[in-house]
Structure 1
Amino acid sequence: MRLISKYGLALVQLAFVLMIFSSCGTRKSMVYLQPDSTQVNTVFEQYIPKIQKNDILTIAVTAADPKVTVPFNPLSSLASGNMSQAVDLALRPTYTVDGNGDITLPMLGKVKIEGLTRLEAIEKLRTELSQYIKDPGVNMNFVNFRVSVLGEVAKPGSFIIPTDRVTVLEALGMAGDMTIRGVRHNVTLIREVDGKKSVHHLDLTKQETLNSPYYYLVQNDVLYVEPNKAQINNSKLGANTNIIISIAGLLITVISVLTR
């Protein structure tokens, strides 16, 4: 009985030790943006997303006299003073950037905006509208500014961004942050521009990543967090691990009954 008890206890201890070592990691592999001599000089203006083909935009024209904007806001007649801001935004017309990089607006016709930032496109539309409206205002927002976060994060998925400014860390935050099993020094970014995909790797344990041209995301970016070696090894064991734990539990129960 004592021999069985010793073997059972040893098995439980071994399983416990394996579980601890399979989930632990060093500070160097876990902490974001560890201090070093890097001079952080990230400027968002250097990496502002540009409008691309197939982007979907909401555009609303404003002026001191709302009546003169009616021809440029096809659905504005549906709005009323009793509608909430959310409903008003939902009623705004959307415009898709076509294969030539143009949008087609009432009265103005086709206007090329591909390759412009949102603010540059707004200024171009204001210039075009000035021939019809005095001091026009333009409100433009992306509808399809979406980023996806996959892999070892708490809540993987795709996220609609209300603005055109989002960082890698902000996107990870929306996905609930990396799990302890995520590899922080090799996060993969997949980006598509003009139909061409490119792959980039970011080391989030180093401050120099803040200076990367890929620190700020653009529409349709995909972030992938790969699992660490412990997680891969655990997945190899798979069902066998569950079986071992079940057997260990059964042995503990039997041993406790026999040694009473």
Structure 2
Amino acid sequence: MKNIIKIVALLLTAAIVSGCRSTKNVAYLQGVENLTDAQLQRSAQPYSAKIKPNDMLRIIVSGAEDPDTYMPFNLLTSVPYNENATQANVSLQSYLVDTRGTIDFPVMGKLYVVNSTTDQVKQMITEKLKDYLKADLVVTVRFVNYKISVLGEVNQPGVYTVPDEKISILQALSLAGDLTLYGRRDVVKILREESDGHKTITTLNLNDRNLIFSPFYYLRQGDVVYVEPNKTKAKGAGVGAATNIVFSVVSVVIGVASLIVTVAK
């Protein structure tokens, strides 16, 4: 009888320990609340996306003058409403950054834009346009294809467009519905292609409070986020499923032990 009680106690202890470990494996940025103001200041990472080959840019030139004045500097295309249409829908085209890092801009020709930010390209074009137009120019430069992919053990894997051209790893996972119960919080891989075509892979630990200091905390356009699954899905992440199984087994053992005690009496 004493042996049965010992077994039940051991099972209960295992269940409690399993639950504690599960909590430690799930919480993001553990201990981040203990960082000092000076440490948090280090996490301030001014980020502006750099243009890479094969990026798509939308550039609009406007100002206070007649709109026709700016038409030569806006890349327009005419798309028929249908095959029999006599009128066309005029819309702005996007600029493809070629493998040499340039775009073909109207009137001014080839402009080298790779590794520049959209603000830097805006300033460059504004300066160059002063030779053709008067002051009070408004130049807008935006990414058309700023997208990231989230794969693996997330609830909603897919490709996501980032309208404000800035997104952190935590925000990306939020868009994908967070990790599943089986995703490893300590093994989240980022696949990144640099402007020269070189690819890098780094692993982030969401449990680590130092994540906010990582140069990969903010994602770049085209990044692929992959959440690695646990070796045994029901056991690795263990946020409830494994614990519930253990408690179920313990309940059965306790029931059997109670039955034996009753019969023994």
Same fold at TM > 0.5: yes
Aligned counterparts, 1:179-258, within 5 A: 179-193=180-194, 194-231=196-233
Deviation readout 1:94-153 (Å, 9 max, x if unpaired): 000112111011111111111101111111111111111223211111111111101110
The total of aligned residue pairs comes to 207
**Which deviates the most, 33-42 or 148-157?**
33-42
Partner of 1:128: 128
Partner of 2:26: 30
Q: Is the 8 A contact 2:78 2:91 kept in 1?
A: no
Gaps of 5+ in 2: 1-16, 80-88, 237-265
- Tell me, in whole angstroms, the C-alpha distance in 2 between the residues paired with 1:153 and 1:127: 46
CA drift at 1:215:
0.3
Gaps of 5+ in 1: 1-20, 79-87, 235-260
Deviation readout 1:67-105 (Å, 9 max, x if unpaired): 321111242899xxxxxxxxx9x9222000112111011
Partner of 1:57: 57
- Tell me, in whole angstroms, the C-alpha distance in 1 between the residues paired with 2:127 and 2:93: 20
Q: Which has the higher strand share?
A: 2
- Determine helix, strand or coil for the equivalent of 2:61: strand
Deviation readout 1:6-43 (Å, 9 max, x if unpaired): xxxxxxxxxxxxxxx99995221101111244422323
- Tell me, in whole angstroms, the C-alpha distance in 2 between the residues paired with 1:24 and 1:120: 50
Residue 158 (structure 2) pairs with residue 157 (structure 1): yes
**Which deviates the most, 31-40 or 65-74?**
31-40
**Which deviates the most, 129-138 or 197-206?**
129-138
Partner of 2:251: none
- Tell me, in whole angstroms, the C-alpha distance in 1 between the residues paired with 2:70 and 2:78: 10
Q: Is the 8 A contact 2:182 2:234 kept in 1?
A: no
- Tell me, in whole angstroms, the C-alpha distance in 1 between the residues paired with 2:26 and 2:235: 19
- Tell me, in whole angstroms, the C-alpha distance in 1 between the residues paired with 2:77 and 2:96: 19
- Tell me, in whole angstroms, the C-alpha distance in 2 between the residues paired with 1:143 and 1:172: 22
Partner of 1:145: 146
Match of 1:57, as an amino acid?
L
- Tell me, in whole angstroms, the C-alpha distance in 2 between the residues paired with 1:123 and 1:43: 25
How high is the TM-score relative to the length of structure 1? Answer: 0.72
Change (3 A) 1:195 1:77: closer
Match of 1:143, as an amino acid?
V
Partner of 1:104: 104
- Tell me, in whole angstroms, the C-alpha distance in 2 between the residues paired with 1:223 and 1:70: 40
How high is the TM-score relative to the length of structure 2? Answer: 0.70
Partner of 2:92: 92
- Tell me, in whole angstroms, the C-alpha distance in 2 between the residues paired with 1:74 and 1:96: 12
Q: Is the 8 A contact 1:22 1:230 kept in 2?
A: no
Change (3 A) 1:23 1:224: farther
Q: Is the 8 A contact 2:75 2:94 kept in 1?
A: no
- Tell me, in whole angstroms, the C-alpha distance in 2 between the residues paired with 1:226 and 1:145: 24
